[in-house]
Amino acid sequence: MTLRLRASLTRRDFQLSIDITLPLEGVSALFGPSGSGKTTLLRIIAGLERTRDAQVYFGDQCWQHGRVFVPLHRRRIGLVFQEHSLLPHLSVHGNLAYGYNRTPTAERRLHLPEVAEMLGLTELLARPVDQLSGGERQRVSLGRALLISPQLLLLDEPLSALDTASRREIMPFLARMAEQSSVPIIMVSHAPDEVTRLADRVAFIRAGTIERIESLRATLSRPDSPLFEDNGATSLLEGELGPVNRHGLRPLGLPAAQLWVYSDEPVGKRLRLRVLARDVSLALALPQQISIQNQLAVTIATITRLDEQRCLVACHMADGQLLLSEVTPWSAERLGLQPGLKLYALVKSVALLL
Ligand X SMILES: Nc1ncnc2c1ncn2[C@@H]1O[C@H](COP(=O)(O)OP(=O)(O)OP(=O)(O)O)[C@@H](O)[C@H]1O
Distance CA 341, CA 352 (A): 29
State which residue, 18 or 327, has the beta carbon closest to ligand X: 18
Q: Of 40 and 281, which has the nearer Cβ to ligand X?
A: 40
Select the residue interacting with ligand X from 24, 38, 115, 346 (CB under 6 A). 38
CA distance 54 to 56: 7
Q: Please say whether the beta carbons of 21 and 3 come within 8 A.
A: yes
Q: Tell me the window of 34-42, 231-239, 257-265, 292-300 that interacts with ligand X (CB under 6 A).
A: 34-42
Interaction mask 260-299, ligand X, x per CB under 6 A: ----------------------------------------
**Only segment of 10-18, 95-103, 132-140, 314-322 that touches ligand X (CB under 6 A):** 10-18
Query: Judged by CB under 6 A, does residue 37 bind ligand X?
Result: yes
Interface residue with ligand X among 3, 31, 40, 321 (CB under 6 A) is 40
How many chain residues interact with ligand X (CB under 6 A)? 12
Report yes or no: 322 and 221 within 8 Å, Cβ to Cβ: yes
Q: What is the rounded CA–CA span in Å between residue 197 and residue 189? A: 12
What track of x and - describes contact with ligand X for positions 143 through 182 (by CB under 6 A)? Answer: ----------------------------------------
Which lies closer to ligand X via its Cβ, residue 188 or residue 300?
188
Q: Which is nearer to ligand X, 11 or 269 (CB)?
A: 11
Q: Which is nearer to ligand X, 37 or 184 (CB)?
A: 37
Query: Dihedral through CA 224, CA 227, CA 232, CA 237, nearest 10?
Result: -100
Which residues does residue 174 pair with via DSSP β-bridges, in sequence order?
none
Can you name the residues that pair with 23 across neighbouring β-strands?
2
Q: Which of residues 186-245 bind ligand X (CB under 6 A)?
A: 190
Q: Using CB under 6 A, which of 1, 10, 14, 131 touches ligand X?
A: 14
DSSP structure string for 80-127: E-SS----TTSBHHHHHHHHHHTS-GGG--S-HHHHHHHTT-GGGTTS
Do 241 and 271 meet the contact criterion of CB atoms below 8 Å apart? yes
Residue in 2, 8, 17, 39 binding ligand X, rule: CB under 6 A: 39
The rounded distance, in Å, linking the Cα atoms of 291 and 248 is 16
Q: From its phi and psi, is residue 46 left (phi > 0), alpha (psi between -120 and 50) or beta?
A: alpha
Q: For residue 241, give the DSSP letter.
A: B
- Region of 29-37, 98-106, 132-140, 275-283 interacting with ligand X (CB under 6 A): 29-37
- Whole-number minimum distance, CB 350 to ligand X, in Å? 30
Positions that interact with ligand X (CB under 6 A): 11, 13-14, 32, 34-40, 190
